[in-house]
Amino acid sequence: MKFLAFDLGAESGRAMLGSLDSGRLTLDELHRFPNQPVRLPTGLYWDTLRLFHEIQQGLIVCGRERHVTPDGIGVDTWGVDFGFLGSDGALVDNPRHYRDARTHGLLERTYSVVPREEIFRQTGIQHMELNSLFQWYSMKLSGSPALSTARTLLFLPDLFSYWLSGAARAELTIASTSQFYNPIEKTWAKPLLASLGLDSSVLPEIVPPGTRLGSLLEYLHRTAGFGAEVPVYATASHDTASAVAAAPAEGTDWCYISSGTWSLLGVEIDSPIVNADSLALNFTNEIGAAGRVRFLKNIAGLWILQECRRAWALEGHDYSYEELARLAADAPPAHIYLNPDDFTSPGDMPARIARFCRDSGVPAPVEPGPMARLVLESLAMSYRDKILSLEKLLGRPINRIHIFGGGSRNRLLNQLTADFSNKPVIAGPAEATAAGNVLVQAMGAGFVKDLDEARAIVRASFPLERFEPRPAVHSG
């Protein structure tokens, strides 16, 4: 069985062909492309049409170059962002980037209409101004003309699946990131939307991960040169949900860190935790594969280092991630830790970090190595603090940490995480999101029985590396 996974991240996208045979999964990258947002006078946008063009190129590589007709196609992307379709099925406005400034300062304005506690009671979602709820509400407050013609709201993976299959549906895992899905009642939070004057009639039917949406549209099928009908599946369309589905874990005493542009740190549980304590600690209840709840915290992960790298490149110093990791490993321990969530906005990140250090009375790092070290140690410290909060909320210990995704290649960060948390870290697979995308499609096709079998396949298919905490290192 072969499944084609389109995995779109904040920096790049890939078409990955997953082959399942005798309990093992292999992944083959067919096509990689950059994902570069576009800044216009009116805001920051995703280049969605270019991204769909690249998805079509991936189909062509699969069918015409590799001569493979896949048994399914699925798309995953980051969370929260969306587009509106008009009555003719066309986009009425290009989807905005979650870092667009239109939601800046909107939290308190929203709370003046619906209290923060009530929003959390209805949605169980961590309060972040980039969430879909605040993006949509900002459009209403600004009088966006798109809302007058909008007939259907589709999150980005649902939009790409619609363009592939013609089926406009909301896949559950991506819908649960919006802050207008109720994880307890398992439906849209329509009373909340009504309180904010947002029209819930534009919200489509919610379908679970693994749902077959339909067949690849005929013109795409013909262009790709596929030899038979190709199903399009709503996989676990939120990239973190796909990644967690591929966690090579057993038992229940573990937590995960899906490490990339964002760090998503959490656990799997059976039911949402929506109470005063989880609100105070700003944790979130999102839905994962097989109906599991991903109880987690969003942390501004390697984005900070990515922004530093961009700033240094503009100055003529194009450091690779591998170079930065090596320079950070050679640098002395940091003398201060920053809060990653204070550095989520774009800008001159090295200058902002230096200013933070000076304002804190600590010499600012000048060279890339010490600055990268400061960022990685700050992430590890943030992970430690969030794990302590998780243990408090769960009332039980967490005994090991699974780190997967592209950031799991950063061996220094893995080791610092083990040191700071005083817990073993199991790193890998780096391609967890693509693996989970494929495996959830295979579950929908009936080829993989359940989540336990999917995770056993991951353990049998990918190398893992274990990092033990070093004694008396960063124990304070």
Q: Token digits for 2?
A: 């072969």
Residues 88 and 71 occupy one common structural domain = yes
- Residue 294 placed within a domain: yes
* Cβ 75 vs Cβ 235: under 8 Å: yes
Residue 440 lies in a domain: no
What is the pLDDT at residue 476?
A: 46
Torsion of CA 369, 465, 415, 11, to 10 degrees: 50
pLDDT over 70 percentage in the chain: 99
How big is the CA angle at 206 (ends 205 and 209), to the nearest 5 degrees? Answer: 140
Whether residue 436 lies inside any domain: the answer is no
What tens digit of pLDDT does each residue of 431-462 get? 999 999 999 999 999 999 999 999 999 999 99
Same domain as 143, residue 269:
no
Q: Hey, how many other C-beta atoms are within 10 angstroms of the C-beta on 248?
A: 20
Q: Which residue has the tokens 């935790």?
A: 273
DSSP assignment string, 22-71? TTEEEEEEEEEEE---EEETTEEE--HHHHHHHHHHHHHIIIIIS----S
Q: Would you say residue 438 lies in a domain? A: no
Q: Which of 189, 220, 239 is where one domain is finished?
A: 239
Summarised one tens digit per residue, pLDDT across range 147-173 is 999 999 999 999 999 999 999 999 999
| Whether 263 and 136 share a structural domain | no
Provide the residue range defining the domain that includes 213.
2-239
Mark whether 221 and 252 lie in a shared domain: no
Q: Which long-range contacts (CB under 8 A, 24 or more apart) does 349-353 make?
A: 349/304, 349/307, 349/308, 349/310, 349/311, 350/308, 350/311, 350/312, 351/311, 353/304, 353/308
User: Is 222 in the same domain as 296?
Assistant: no
Threshold 0.85, pTM exceeds: yes
Same domain membership, residue 220 and residue 255? no
CATH number of the CATH domain containing 300: 3.30.420.40
Tokens for 164? Answer: 């592939």
Instruction: Residue count of the chain, please give it.
Output: 476
Please, what is the average pLDDT of the chain?
Answer: 96
* Listed residue (401, 427, 388, 416) closest to 473, CA to CA: 416
Establish if 433 belongs to a structural domain: no
Of 239, 273, 302, the one marking the end of a domain is 239
Residues 106-119 pLDDT 10s: 999 999 999 999 99
Do 286 and 217 lie in a common domain?
no
- Reference 422, options 475, 378, 376; nearest CA is 475
What pLDDT is attached to residue 472? 66
Q: Which residue has the higher pLDDT, 205 or 475?
A: 205
Q: What is the pLDDT of residues 173-219, one digit of tens each?
A: 999 999 999 999 999 999 999 999 999 999 999 999 999 999 999 99
366 and 257 within one domain: yes
**∠ CA 100-206-154, rounded to 5°:** 30
Provide the annotated active-site residues.
239
Please report whether residue 379 resides in a domain: yes
**Rounded distance, CA 339 to CA 345, Å?**
13
- 25 and 115 assigned to the same domain: yes
Question: Under a CB-based contact definition with an 8 Å cutoff, are residues 84 and 153 in contact?
Answer: yes
> Count of domains in the chain?
2
Residue 439 lies in a domain: no
Residue where one domain finishes, among candidates 239, 263, 298: 239
Domain membership flag for residue 19: yes
How confident is the model over 396-443, as pLDDT tens digits?
A: 999 999 999 999 999 999 999 999 999 999 999 999 999 999 999 999
* Domain identity same for 198 and 320: no
Coil/strand/helix, residue 16: strand
Are residue 224 and residue 252 in the same domain, yes or no?
A: no
- If residue 297 lies in a helix (H) or strand (E), which one and from where to where? strand 293-299
Beta-sheet pairing, 263-269 with 284-287? unpaired
Same domain, yes or no: 319 and 405: yes
